[in-house]
Chain A
């Protein structure tokens, strides 16, 4: 098991810059999520760690050893592909034992090991079957079996649940997490699904356009996004943005929107010009006494909660309210924001302004 560190890693494909100077550290035994929209460079980053792509510049360390230019076969890692990539001309048992046979392990030992893995994954009864006729879940288990059979230094998984049905995905994600905890192996997991990332990950890196936007534990990233992109990408519905022109001085604890003073966590940075007031839907309360006004344009019923869409002078926002609250479309209402949870962004750069609340996180 190993710590993985990447430093200033960059990857160009011709003139296209897929990954721009990424740096982060994955601690030993961590379940680490690389999250981002498609084309953001997360898979390329993973493939560079695995040795399937060589970085244009920068270093990759596995267990303290620089492996950036080493081929995949010498890195002692395992990779689970989105499409599973089970060898179609071999049966389940052969697929799982393939990495062992490459090391020239004696047959009896290989068999013992494969049986043991099959037992863990609950696939003993299909060991002699061809992989062609297996269900998605069984293929996934075989792919996992092939990965864990070798006790590698780290597991790399590229959207391993992406090919499964939604219903089964839930089940498999729990199984994966349980397997990780049992093996206590460093796992790097690529996904574009923010829920999956929040649910399974010990730590998350959010990437966009080849750049690491934020790095941290799920709760920090959710509560204190470092950029507008992260705020938008994580959470469903995403964080609301109220754009305004104004200024915030150092140590200010309120801002002026439409001549209404709104409380914010005490600011560290000062800024002037185009700013964005960011607030999560669950931190907006419909309160007629509040000075800031909005008009309800739609409601979506979600069982325990409802999502209320409102027009405000600073743009449309969505609030989460209890579904028992009587809210009518067309109604004018006051809006109160939980002042402890507000993040201000510089609208031009998209970066969050530092405050006493998000200090140390971003």
Chain B
């Protein structure tokens, strides 16, 4: 990429759009599945988790990219980890200070962003060899790709499992069997196995619509 590339050239925009669909970290590269199962029982934690991962991934990519010509090769993994860990602690502290309820709900999973394979993967594969701006876009793109899947899963799990969306009741109270209605929430949806099945369905839908992903 030449220095004179406009900031939002086609090539650069592709860095954002690609990971959202064609090379989605969850559905195509199958990275970061663990946290996708854990924090998607409701939309709110899923949204906060997505934003946290986008922030950490974009910042880590930029920092590593800025340092890429100075990092001693033999300790580069450790340097990457130190940067990621520091950013994750920052996010955790900020959540604790300003959205304490959510931070309690996410509990250990914020800390586990450190071990989210998407981060190390993008830093090793992209940020170490590219300029800061491209790395930033790549981070935003991959974070958004991860977040999009998380939010889709959480939407269905919360709707079918708790009858609400982002905490707002969608299914009227009078529908419930306990109130003389015909409806009851699907308890399976709030358990991790259904998250895995939801991921599977998303992969199925995506592959049947995207010809680039169809294998022979």
Asked if A pairs with B, the answer is no
